[in-house]
Structure 1
Amino acid sequence: MRIFCLLFALLNTAWAQPNIIFILTDDMSWTGTSVQLDPTVADSKSDFYLTPNIERLAAQGMVFSAAYAPGPMCTPSRAALLTGKTPAELRMTTPGGGRAMDYHKLLSANFIRDLPSSETTVAEALQEVGYATAHFGKWHLGSSAPGGHGFDVHDGNTNNEGAGTQSESNPKDIFGITQRAIAFIEEQVQEQKPFYVQLSHYAVHTPIEALEGSKTQFAQMPSGSRHDGVDYAAMTWDLDMSVGRLLKRIAQLDLIDNTYIVLMSDNGAPSNPRQSFNRPLSGGKGSLYEGGIRVPLIVRGPDVIKGTFCTEPVSGCDLFPTFCEWAQVSLDDRAGSSLVPLLKLDRLAFKRTQAALLFHYPHYGQGPQQRPQSALIVGQYKLIKNWEDGSLELFNLKTDLEETDNLVMQLPEIAADLNAQLNERLAQVMAALPKTNPDYDPKSGWPRRRGRELMAR
């Protein structure tokens, strides 16, 4: 009888629904931590910022070297992360703005600001199988609040700033978000209930805020050749310290063996020397070049192979089916594909629902690289379509991470094939496309008018 009880207990533990913690950073560059995200690229980590706790998380799990945010801006990515659908399919392709000026050749495509209530979020899917769900921090998905999309506990409808919870000892609510998440986790442990909690940090988005002690620490350190922003480094350090507090409490609660922790950024960092240079990646936030969409992704969990790297291109859309597989939730087809085989180093078992990763930003932004574009990644090749003139850019990311060598002329068949795939995918999801601007005046000049456009936003 004792043997039977022991076997039953072991099986029950094996079948138990795991806990899931999702840490979403804001505007964190691929090179924005001290974790080397690609073992073959020395500059895939910062030469100034320090993130020892994220390093520890990476050492205990898997690092994805070619992970992509679903979009180059926050709202599209956040909607896609929650639903497993691309921004193109959701028609949530920009946070707003993008009003056409007379020096724009195109009118920005139509878009929606509010996450539709008809869309099933990962929180709602997990609620259906008994999970307690919580969202702390930045929401930025329109007029609705997290409570209308499956979250039992949340901070409300927040945007780029918190609801008055910041202070000198809690800059950008970094430590408040973590403490509220810990309190939620402790409550679920008491109730013996599986949980999904999303910590959507305001850091490292501007404005740059950090503890004074952290600023002093980095002011005394030698600058790096790529990164040298003292306050930005301090803010990154504070974020890392909050991650450390969370990891420590998870260990104290004896949850390590049944808890997955995922850390990702919503998009790349702005291409701004006062913040976080994206080099060796080109471009930045708001563009579909690598600096705008390639981001950190680290996963730790019970069956994740520790200390490993995955070079397979993956997307934030893949997290929805991954979380659902962990929670034993059946779901319909999504743009994303479960990462579970990759996390077990079973690459042959990894099958994409869609063969290519799709990106769609049919808008103008705040710089010359932030213009209407769509992109497709298939294996080592990436195609960018510029909607202003229909021109194509083809890059081999395996040999040209900086996207300096356009291969359209050298590899016309590959370019044509990827362009056909791109057009087919956009038509399949009924993506909104930009249209000709009838008021376009090439003599008005972009640089001279840019200041007025930004003021209008």
Structure 2
Amino acid sequence: MLADDQHYEGTSVQVHEDFPASKSQLHQTPHLAKLASQGMTFSAAYSPSSVCSPTRLSLQTGRNPAALGMTRAGPSLRESAGQMFVGAESRREILDDEITLGEVLQSAGYATAHFGKWHLGGGGPERHGYDVSDGDLGNEHAAKFAGDNPVDIVGMTERAVAFMQSQQLAKKPFFIQMSYHALHCPENASAKNKTKFAESGRKNGRRGLNAAITADLDDGVGALMQAVDGLGLAQTTYLIYMSDNGGSGGGRQLIRGSKGSVLEGGIRVPLVVAGPEIPAGSYASQRVVGYDFFPTICQLAGVDISAMEQLEGGDLRGILRGGDGPVKRADEFLVFHFPHYQATPPQSAIFLGDYKWIYDYQSKSGQLFHIAADMGEARDLSKSLPELAEKLQLQLDDYLTRVAAKMPQINPSYDPENVPAVPRGGGRLRLRRREKGEERRVKREG
């Protein structure tokens, strides 16, 4: 179950065991909270990217978006935008020769389904390992559904339940990816939840609508949970819930930054997993990333993936069964690469243990944070730990070179005397600059 643009602190689950503030005071997600009480909540879970399409491709392939060459959901800024750099080249769709999670599970005898937002082109899910799907859908599909079926949450649930019922009758194992359109189009939230938040004194513009669509999404999660229980599948089924990236706007209590940023607010997301052998009401503090689920799901399904040498994720089964060891991956570090302008100038980040180094390509400088002690990234340690900062920069450079990551390029039209502001937040990027005393607005899809 993949939410869209849901902030780390955007649910009523206390996502960090040590911080009550990690539980939203605005959003109400009782069904997700129930799922957390039945399973494991991850306090340091990360989406592969700070924007949606790269995360979606990463989940399908088990690889880092930097290695995949997809780091942007829409067009990058071009020379005409006036920034110091031109955004890195980023491909726009999944390739036919990429082996997906759906294809691997199909080959092992699983029935597979993908409902909701695909946003990867390439002919849609049924061309890439899914027996049943809603087709090659993007963000535009969300706006088509309102009323009693806000952003198709109810419709997606009905199709998923029917799929589960048919596979149960066929006695066939199944895998479903629910790629929800929510939290897009919050103005399409159900009337009952709009009213609910208005009556609660929470009719506060877009934040109130966001809370309403979040509640609608939670209702969809609850309906799926109820169906799994009603079909007698709870003892043999894993339920995984996470977001594709952080939310827009930032300004939360514990972490800063937003969608389109490698700060914690752009990549740190809610993650809850329930299922067989997972301790109820438990927490995991190990740092995990979305592409860990490719090898994890395959191992849970008994699929041999030893020949898939390009996988970058690690097996989470030990953690899910209550272990406290680190995740074993091909590399000891985690890299997040966003060579574009959106919430910030182009940046990359690398985690090694509890330390995080962020490199800004525009300023040619970096910041070092001890994330376990400083989730808000308020205390730059680069001056006091210069050797560690240098080590992390070398590891970051080596990784990006090894995977042939696409990099931002110097803009030949850059004018340092006429630089537009880089806006905060994600989605549609609006830049403003002055030319000959007149103000001109330049728009690019983010």
What TM-score do you get using the length of structure 1 for normalisation?
0.90
- Equivalence for 1:16: none
1:41/1:349 CA distance change after superposition, 3 Å: closer
The whole-number CA distance in structure 2 between the counterparts of 1:26 and 1:76 is 13
Candidates 79, 88, 101, aligned match of 2:66:
88
Q: Which amino acid aligns with 2:365?
A: S
Amino acid at match of 1:354: D
Aligned residue runs from structure 1 range 382-397, under 5 A: 382-397=356-371
For the residues of structure 1 that align with 2:263 and 2:336, how far apart are their CA atoms?
A: 10
Distance in 2 of aligned mates of 1:348 and 1:163? 40
Q: CA deviation at 1:208?
A: 3.2
* Structure 2 equivalent of residue 454 of structure 1: 443
Please report how far the alpha carbon of residue 142 of structure 1 lies from its aligned counterpart in structure 2 after TM superposition: 2.4
Structure 2 gaps, min length 5: 422-431, 434-438
Q: Could you tell me which residue of structure 1 aligns to residue 192 of structure 2?
A: 213
* Structure 1: unaligned runs, 5 residues or longer: 1-22
Q: Does 1:254 align with 2:232?
A: yes
How far residue 348 of structure 1 moved from its aligned partner, in angstroms, is: 3.0
Summarize the Cα distance change of 1:163–1:436 in structure 2 as closer, same or farther, 3 Å threshold: closer
Which of 336, 339, 343 is the equivalent residue of 2:316?
339
Three-state SS of the structure 1 residue aligned to 2:318 is helix
- The residue matched to 1:43 in structure 2 has which SS? helix
Note the C-alpha offset of 1:103: 2.7
Deviation at 1:347, TM superposition (A): 2.6
In structure 1, which of residues 332, 343, 351 is the aligned counterpart of residue 328 of structure 2?
351
Instruction: Kindly report which structure 2 residues correspond to 1:133-282, keeping only aligned pairs within 5 A, or say none.
Output: 133-162=112-141, 166-223=145-202, 229-271=207-249, 277-282=251-256
After TM superposition, where is structure 1 displaced by more than 6 Å over at least 4 residues in a row? none
Contact 2:243/2:271 (8 A) holds in 1: yes
Tell me if 1:424 matches 2:398: yes
Supply the distance in 2 between the matched residues of 1:151 and 1:208 (Cα, whole angstroms).
31
Partner of residue 290 from structure 1, selected from 264, 272, 281: 264
Structure-1 separation of matches of 2:142 and 2:255: 34
Is 2:9 aligned against 1:31?
yes
Q: Is the 8 A contact 2:31 2:218 kept in 1?
A: yes
In 2, Cα distance between equivalents of 1:456 and 1:196: 33
Alpha-carbon distance in 2 for matches of 1:295, 1:126: 26
Is 1:68 aligned to 2:42, yes or no?
no
| Equivalent of 1:401 in 341, 357, 375 | 375
Deviation of 1:269 (Å) = 0.3
Secondary structure in 1 matching 2:141: coil
Q: CA deviation at 1:164?
A: 7.8
Judging changes above 3 Å, is the alpha-carbon distance between structure 1 residues 167 and 220 closer, same or farther for their aligned structure 2 residues?
Answer: closer
Computed over aligned residues only, the root mean square deviation of the Cα atoms, in angstroms, reads 1.9
- Sort the Cα spacing of 1:456 and 1:419 in 2 relative to 1 into closer, same or farther, 3 A: closer
Counterparts of 1:166 and 1:433 in 2: how far apart (Å)?
38
The structural deviation recorded for 1:398 is 1.2
Q: For residue 79 of structure 1, what is the aligned residue in structure 2? A: 57
With over 3 angstroms needed to count, the CA separation of the structure-2 counterparts of 1:362 and 1:230, relative to structure 1, is: same
Quick one: structure 1 residues 232 and 102, their matched pair in 2 at CA, closer, same or farther if it must change by over 3 Å?
closer
| Paired AA for residue 126 in structure 1 | L
User: For the residues of structure 1 that align with 2:302 and 2:216, how far apart are their CA atoms?
Assistant: 35
Partners of 2:36 and 2:445 in 1: CA distance: 42
Equivalence map 1:116-131=2 (5 Å): 116-131=95-110
TM-score, normalised to structure 2, is: 0.92
Aligned length: 427
* Aligned counterparts of 2:20 and 2:28: Cα–Cα separation in 1: 15
